[in-house]
Amino acid sequence: MRVSINDIQGMKEKGKKIPMLTAYDYATAKAVDEAGVPLILVGDSLGMVILGYESTTPVTIEEMLHHTRAVVRGSNRALIIGDMPFMTYYHTDLALENAARFIQEGEAQAVKVEGGERVADIVRKIVEWGIPVMGHIGLTPQSILALGGYKVQGKTPDTAKKLLNDARALEEAGVFSIVLEVVPGPLAHLITQRLTVPTIGIGAGSFCDGQVQVISDILGLFPDFVPKHARQYANILEVMKNAIKSYISEVSQGTFPTPSQSFPLDEEILSGL
């Protein structure tokens, strides 16, 4: 049985922190799921850390569905959230169609959308049609051009108030949780206290109900940039490079493959050829 949105709500109510990670493929999803992470996001960060785009805005729904299906196949227990890409939910009908695709074709159990009051009516409709929605406010990478860069959000009285209003509007519209990305810790704390639904922080301090990270950042799999809010728990790229160098050297020296990686043939058959 997969984790449900009620289980996630229950974790907030019991004061149990909610760990969440991104995953984009079968093998990684298997590792994240077997390690016990209850929420897996197939983030549109896919565009940057897997597909090598400069931002998340070029990511298409087809790319997202392809990777969402792989993550679902690799997991048994976690609740899988499909991230709706840029401009795939800018009006209600389009949003309903695309959210349904994540559930029917991607086999996800929820979707995530970026934005606050602006998307509240759209969120309400998706939820009314039976699809759980996660909100996402603060630094919303799909609006990176309008935000003018990857900067901390909600630092002034007006922008802090706007974030609180956005969070309330999303809760009122029916989201089951909200990602708070790169906002001052004390503001994230206050929003977390004022909301009934869980907040999941990324660069939003330790008082959120849960934390989310891009898996490539915590495993050292994305060489271009490590955000300030990430901690590297491993350096998998280094491990990969060392393993690949050993392979090159053994192939060059003829020490790979050995008989144990090869398939024998009877001498008789060989001599009869």
Q: What are the residues binding ligand KIV (CB under 6 A)?
A: 22, 41, 43-45, 83, 136, 179, 202, 212, 214
CA angle 265, 270, 271 (to 5 degrees): 145
Distant-in-sequence, close-in-space partners of 6: CB < 8 Å, separation ≥ 6: none
Which residue is listed with tokens 């309903």?
A: 96
128, 171, 181, 267: the active-site residue: 181
Name the residue whose CB lies closest to ligand KIV.
43
Output the smallest distance, CB 222 to ligand KIV, in A.
Answer: 11
Minimal distance in Å, beta carbon 14 to ligand KIV? 23
Question: What CA–CA distances, in Å, run from 94 to 88, 90, 148, 219?
Answer: 7, 7, 27, 35
Nearer to ligand KIV, 35 or 243 (CB): 35
Under DSSP, the state recorded for 198 is P
d(CA 11, CA 49) in angstroms, rounded, equals 30
CB of 134 to ligand KIV, least distance (A): 9
Q: How far is the CB of 267 from ligand KIV (least distance, A)?
A: 57
**Closer residue to ligand KIV in complex, CB, 157/163:** 163
- CA–CA separation, 109 and 209 (whole Å): 20
Q: Which amino acid is at 43?
A: G
Q: Is 62 a catalytic residue?
A: no
- CB closer to ligand KIV, 119 vs 202: 202
Would you say 43 or 116 has its CB closer to ligand KIV? 43
Contact indicator for 121, 90 with CB cutoff of 8 Å: no
| Residues carrying an active site annotation | 181
